[in-house]
Structure 1
Amino acid sequence: MIDTVVWGTGNVGRAAIRAVVANPALSLARVLVHNPEKVGRDAGNLAGLGHPLGVAATDDVAAVLESEPDAVVYAVSGEVRPDEALADIVRAVSSGAVVVTPALYALYDHRSAPIEIAEPVHAAIADGGGSLFVSGVDPGWGNDVLPLLLSGLGSSIDVIRCQEIFDYSTYDQPDSVRYLVGMGQPMEYVPPMVAPGVPTMVWGGQVRLMARALGLELDEIRETLERRPLAKTVGTATMGEFEAGTQGALRFEVQGVVDGEAIIVIEHVTRIHPSCAPDWPMPPDGDGAHRVVLEGRPHIEVTVEATDEGGSRSAGGNATAVGRLVNAIDWLFDSPPGLYDALDVPLRPTVGKLGRKKS
């Protein structure tokens, strides 16, 4: 079995622990945490499994990497600490491990990554013999392998549109929702997630990845942005009140453009309450969904609704994205050292998983 470390126990890390335990090719070796209050706690408890796994969390990064694990799931956010995340990941790859992570947006399409990000990773691979696969939690498969698979079903395609449609009222991440996304902030506030150039930095790699797979030469990548205020004050179960007149909905697109036309589009539609921007796309039911739309002949739409952790759609989206990463580990382990992307790593059945009891 492949000894696997999960580094981080937030929204992504909890799902990663569960995915590692459920995969018959993997063995959960260690769990790394940053919060001192989590040190010594059992991984099963941290992951919400309801039973112990016999693996106690530690904050000793050096000791864990010096033990030369076969694989590392790096589940720590890179949104507000990109330099630190890159340094952590380079360190893990240098130890010789197969590393999977959503944290380095620039490496979704590593062929177009800035040299200051790609070069340290390539050096770590050469020095340590490890590998790295980066895919998103928005989710990555919804912006690469799923739309590309569906493209093989159409006679002609005019536009590929990948949508994330979510109501954030159940998303228990107040800092991200209020300050990164800007919900509840004055309309003159510029949310960092949609500041000019940031959407392209985060999702542009996935647009370029799909274009490369489809043999397209993009003329440019373009951004659009719309924001709507709340008509009335609303309350949420997890994050309190959001006042009337503040931002209540956000919609943006990252567009791959050919001959002046947007032909590959990654679109996010997010709300803090369903009453805001009711004319924008809505999830079929519940708090969110991911959808791929192929405009052409025939018109094709596929909507994915995943739930986890008591029915949460945001947790379900995280879990499916993490599943894509974790279930790639055994393939990467058997492959030569290198820097891989979603076009390199096949989405395949996980042999031996069906019929196993839920972990």
Structure 2
Amino acid sequence: MISTVVWGTGNVGRAAIRAVDAHPALHLTAVLVHHPDKVGRDAGELAGLDRSLGVPATDDIEAVLAAGPRAVVYAASGDIRPDEALADIVRAVGAGAVVVSPALYPLYDHRSAPAEFRDPVLAAVEAGGGSLFASGVDPGWGNDVLPLLMSGLGSRIDAIRCQEVFDYSTYEQPDSVRYLVGMGQPMDYEPPMLIPSVPTMVWGGQIRMMARALGVEVDDIRETLERRPLESTVTTRTMGEFEAGTQGAIRFEVQGFVDGEPRIVIEHITRIHPSCAPDWPSPPDGSGAHKVIIEGRPRIEVTVEASDEGENRSAGGNATAVGRLVNAIDWLVEAEPGLYDALDVPLRPATGKLGRKQS
């Protein structure tokens, strides 16, 4: 069994605990938390399971890493603390662990990552013998392995479009929703995630990675952005009230140009309420979906809807993103130490999981 630590117990961490517990080759040995109220609570409780896992949460990072875990699922957010997340991950890799994480956007495609992100990880790999595989939580497979798999089904490919269409009122992460992307903020507020060049920093690596797999060169990466205000005040189940006139919906694209045309596009269409921007595409179930559209011959469109954690509909996307990462751990343990991306790490069948029950 591969001794595995889950670091963080938010939206991603809860799903990670469940995924590690369900994996036949992994053994959950520790859970790291930041908030003092979570210290000492059982991992099963924190993950929303109806049973104890016998693993009390701790905030003692040094002791957990000193125990020599073979793998770490780094589930703490890197959205507004990228430097701290990088330092944590470097520490775990340097301790010899295989680390999987969605926290570091620049390392989704490490070949194009800035040196200040890539070099510390490579130094930790060299010093400690660990590894890192970073993949997105939006979810990453929707912007790399799924569109690439689908591209192999056609005779002609004109363009690839990856879409996230989502109702953010189901996303239980108020700081990210209100401040990072600006829902409920005045229309003159500049959300950090929407500052020019930031979407390219987050999703540009995935465009370059798809282009590399397709054997084409990206000439340029451009961004588009639309924002819409709420026409009336709305109240959400998870985050309270959002006032009329404040930002209620955003739509942006990160476009990879090939031979002067936008051929590889990642698009997000996000609302805080269905009444805002009703003319934009909506998710089939009203909550959220991920789509891949291959324009060509034939035209191919695949919609993925995932659900988890009852009314927290965003949890399905988190769970599939986490599944991609956690299910890569045993492959990474057998591979050479290094820095890996989605093209390196195969997407494999759920061997040994069919029919296994989990509360």
Q: TM-score, normalised by structure 2?
A: 0.99
Q: Which residue of 2 aligns with 1:217?
A: 217
Q: Which residue of 1 aligns with 2:341?
A: 341
Q: Which residue of 2 aligns with 1:194?
A: 194
How many Å apart are 1:244 and its aligned residue? 1.3
How many Å apart are 1:260 and its aligned residue? 2.2
Q: Which residue of 1 aligns with 2:159?
A: 159
Whole-angstrom distance in 2 between the partners of 1:222 and 1:30: 42
How many Å apart are 1:170 and its aligned residue? 1.9
How many Å apart are 1:311 and its aligned residue? 4.2
Assess if the C-alpha contact under 8 Å between 1:134 and 1:340 holds in 2: yes
Whole-angstrom distance in 2 between the partners of 1:240 and 1:46: 23
Whole-angstrom distance in 1 between the partners of 2:41 and 2:232: 43
Whole-angstrom distance in 1 between the partners of 2:145 and 2:171: 26
How many Å apart are 1:246 and its aligned residue? 1.1
How many Å apart are 1:132 and its aligned residue? 0.6
Whole-angstrom distance in 1 between the partners of 2:180 and 2:115: 26
- Residue by residue over 1:258-311, the C-alpha shift from the partner in whole angstroms, topping out at 9 and shown as x without a partner, is 222110000000001111111111111131000000111111100000000014
| Alpha-carbon RMSD | 0.8
Q: Which residue of 2 aligns with 1:79?
A: 79
The letter of the residue matching 2:182 is G
| 1:300 and 2:306 aligned | no
The letter of the residue matching 2:199 is P
Q: Which residue of 1 aligns with 2:106?
A: 106
1:1-359 matches, within 5 Å, as: 1-359=1-359
How many Å apart are 1:28 and its aligned residue? 0.3
- Residue by residue over 1:166-189, the C-alpha shift from the partner in whole angstroms, topping out at 9 and shown as x without a partner, is 011122222111111111111111
Whole-angstrom distance in 2 between the partners of 1:110 and 1:177: 27
Q: Which of structure 1's runs of 4+ aligned residues deviate more than 2 A?
A: none
Assess if the C-alpha contact under 8 Å between 2:306 and 2:317 holds in 1: yes
For residue 205 of structure 2, give the secondary structure of its aligned residue in structure 1: helix
- Residue by residue over 1:129-188, the C-alpha shift from the partner in whole angstroms, topping out at 9 and shown as x without a partner, is 111100000000000000000000011111100000001112222211111111111111
For residue 111 of structure 1, give the secondary structure of its aligned residue in structure 2: helix
Whole-angstrom distance in 2 between the partners of 1:311 and 1:355: 24
- Residue by residue over 1:190-223, the C-alpha shift from the partner in whole angstroms, topping out at 9 and shown as x without a partner, is 1111111110011111111101110111111100
Assess if the C-alpha contact under 8 Å between 2:203 and 2:254 holds in 1: yes
The letter of the residue matching 1:169 is S
For residue 100 of structure 1, give the secondary structure of its aligned residue in structure 2: strand
Whole-angstrom distance in 1 between the partners of 2:54 and 2:246: 47
Assess if the C-alpha contact under 8 Å between 1:172 and 1:238 holds in 2: yes
Say which is worse superposed, 166-175 or 264-273, in terms of deviation: 166-175
The letter of the residue matching 1:8 is G
Whole-angstrom distance in 1 between the partners of 2:240 and 2:96: 45
For residue 58 of structure 1, give the secondary structure of its aligned residue in structure 2: coil
How many Å apart are 1:351 and its aligned residue? 1.4
Assess if the C-alpha contact under 8 Å between 1:305 and 1:313 holds in 2: no
Whole-angstrom distance in 1 between the partners of 2:271 and 2:282: 10
For residue 201 of structure 1, give the secondary structure of its aligned residue in structure 2: helix
